[in-house]
Amino acid sequence: MACSENQLEMVGADMVAKAFGSAASMVATSLDSKESLVVKYSRASENLKKLMDLGCTILHDVNAHSVGCHPLLHEQLLDRIVFNFPHAGFHYLYREHDICQIKSHQKLVKGFLRRAYDMLAKNGEAHVTHKTAHPFDRWEIEKLAEDTGLCLIAKSEFLTWDYPGYCNKRGDGDRAADSFPVGDCCTFKIRRSKG
């Protein structure tokens, strides 16, 4: 993906610095504050600097549901909006297969897709990378897209070695900086429905 030709927004992109040669048209957002990122992740400062050196705009304290309301993104149309491994966090009573946990994840993704709908340029795409094995398949990403006026145009296998420098993180809790096994996963490529 050539970032210099596309307006790109990455949700949760604190570890993608090496994946792009130029990031002049890229906006990376994080739900965490800059201070929180630096505390959670040992390489956060280094990765943030790399992104800035590549020309990336970095925004902190940005919720996926309200990303389009940010003053720097308001009314900006983007060619790609990427959300890798969305997760609503854990409730101590629920496991990943519990319906309450699944509904929480669906709410997060649906909110992101609703906002993406308003932010996509003509022929723009939202990419959601997600596990496809049970119970993650129960999130029904394709249906969530349809519910927001978007449609699936492709599903591509996600292979971490295609993205040198990318390292997924849990993102929250005592093990926030730990990686997790991605297993079977793919990138759902989504755009506005025709008509």
Q: Is the pTM of this model over 0.75?
A: yes
Mean of pLDDT values over 55-75: 85
Are 80 and 8 a contacting pair, CB within 8 Å?
Answer: yes
- The torsion angle over the Cα atoms of residues 80, 85, 86 and 91, rounded to 10 degrees, is 180
Q: Tokens representing 51?
A: 């992104």
pLDDT in tens, 19-61: 556 677 888 888 889 998 888 888 889 888 988 888 888 999 9
CATH number of the domain within which 168 lies: 3.40.50.150
In this prediction, residue 12 has a pLDDT band, given cuts at 50, 70 and 90, of very low
The Cα 129–Cα 122 span in angstroms is 21
Pairing of strands 120-131, 8-11: unpaired
Nearest to 127 by CA among 147, 145, 140, 106: 145
The residue segments making up the domain with residue 186 are 8-192
Residue 165 has pLDDT above 90, yes or no: no
Residue 91 burial (CB count, 10 A): 11
Specify the number of domains making up the chain.
1
* Segment (H or E) for 123: strand 120-131
Question: Is 2 part of any domain?
Answer: no
Question: Is 1 part of any domain?
Answer: no
The Cα 68–Cα 63 span in angstroms is 9
Mean of pLDDT values over 122-135: 93
Residue 17 has pLDDT above 80, yes or no: no
How many Cα atoms sit within 13 Å of 192 on the Cβ side?
A: 14
Question: Is 26 part of any domain?
Answer: yes
The Cα 17–Cα 167 span in angstroms is 11
* Least confident interval from 104-108, 145-149, 171-175: 171-175
Question: Is 101 part of any domain?
Answer: yes
